Amino acid sequence: AQSVAQPEDQVNVAEGNPLTVKCTYSVSGNPYLFWYVQYPNRGLQFLLKYITGDNLVKGSYGFEAEFNKSQTSFHLKKPSALVSDSALYFCAVRDMGAYGGSQGNLIFGKGTKLSVKP
């Protein structure tokens, strides 16, 4: 079965410091990976995705993610954190089902709360 794990419930970072939010995945076949951010009482905003190609994916608001096939990881990074980055971050993988066909939906991790202090 496909799954996504976000091992940290919360990440605390000082403003201006680099940040990393971790994600590992388990899929059969090639993974289709996504990062979303959710601000309080809001829907999810798309940040970036990995489909194929370059292992370093650049996304919105200065975020990037590094795909590592050997470690089955897709960590979200930003070189310099802002207080406004404080939010809930979700990693997701496309559900490819038991036979490798897209089921349409995304499977989400439980989320990591990022807190950036001034």
Partner 1 sequence: EAGVTQSPTHLIKTRGQQATLRCSPISGHTSVYWYQQALGLGLQFLLWYDEGEERNRGNFPPRFSGRQFPNYSSELNVNALELEDSALYLCASSFSGGTADTQYFGPGTRLTVL
In the complex, the residues that contact partner 1 under the rule CB under 8 A are 32, 34, 36, 41-46, 49, 51, 90, 94-96, 102-111
Rounded to a whole number of angstroms, the minimum distance from the CB of residue 105 to partner 1 is 4
Q: Quick one: CA torsion of 10, 14, 19, 25, rounded to 10 degrees?
A: 0
Rounded to a whole number of angstroms, the minimum distance from the CB of residue 54 to partner 1 is 15
Per the DSSP assignment, residues forming a β-bridge with 33 are 50, 93
Rounded to a whole number of angstroms, the minimum distance from the CB of residue 36 to partner 1 is 7
Instruction: Decide whether 36 or 78 has the Cβ nearer to partner 1.
Output: 36
Q: Are 107 and 95 in contact (CB under 8 A)?
A: yes
Q: Which two tokens stand for residue 75?
A: 């960590």
